[in-house]
């Protein structure tokens, strides 16, 4: 049961980071987050990579919902994008928790 709680916690952390990052990016740019300019561009590869890593699930869901509204993808493809966003959020949460654990270790805290 403890493993399941850890996975759920990591998922919630990933969702929180993704939501906060995506919402901040939307507020700063005034545009919906998606895999397009100004968020993803070949001119700024590192910025694009960071934006995609942190707000990628948010971007994926936005793009998938837009594509579904325009009938460019099927309902099964939309569900596939949703499952991918869930897995991506879990992976993001695991990475964020690992970085936080590493940082706490560097600070010498006995937590």
pLDDT at 38 over 90: no
pLDDT score of 110: 58
Phi-psi region of 31 (alpha: psi -120 to 50; beta: other; left: phi over 0): beta
Taking residues 6-16, report their average pLDDT.
Answer: 94
| pLDDT tens readout for residues 26-36 | 999 999 998 88
pLDDT at 108 over 80: no
The residue among 30, 7, 11, 9 whose CA lies nearest residue 19 is 11
pTM of the model: 0.86
DSSP result, 43-93 = T-HHHHHHHHHHHHHHHHHHHHHHHHHTTSS-HHHHHHHHHHHHHHHHHHH
The whole-angstrom separation of Cα 101 and Cα 106 is 9
Q: What are the boundaries of each domain within the chain?
A: 1-110
């Amino acid at each position: 049961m403890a493993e399941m709680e850890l996975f759920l916690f990591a998922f919630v952390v990933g969702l929180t980071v993704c939501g906060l990052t995506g919402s901040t990016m939307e507020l700063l740019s005034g545009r919906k987050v998606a895999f397009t300019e100004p968020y993803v561009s070949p001119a700024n590869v590192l910025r694009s990579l960071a934006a995609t890593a942190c707000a990628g699930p948010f971007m994926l869901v936005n793009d998938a919902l837009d594509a579904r509204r325009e009938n460019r993808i099927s309902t099964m493809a939309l569900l596939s994008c949703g499952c991918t966003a869930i897995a991506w959020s879990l992976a993001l949460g695991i990475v964020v928790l690992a970085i936080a654990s590493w940082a706490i270790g560097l600070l010498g805290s006995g937590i």
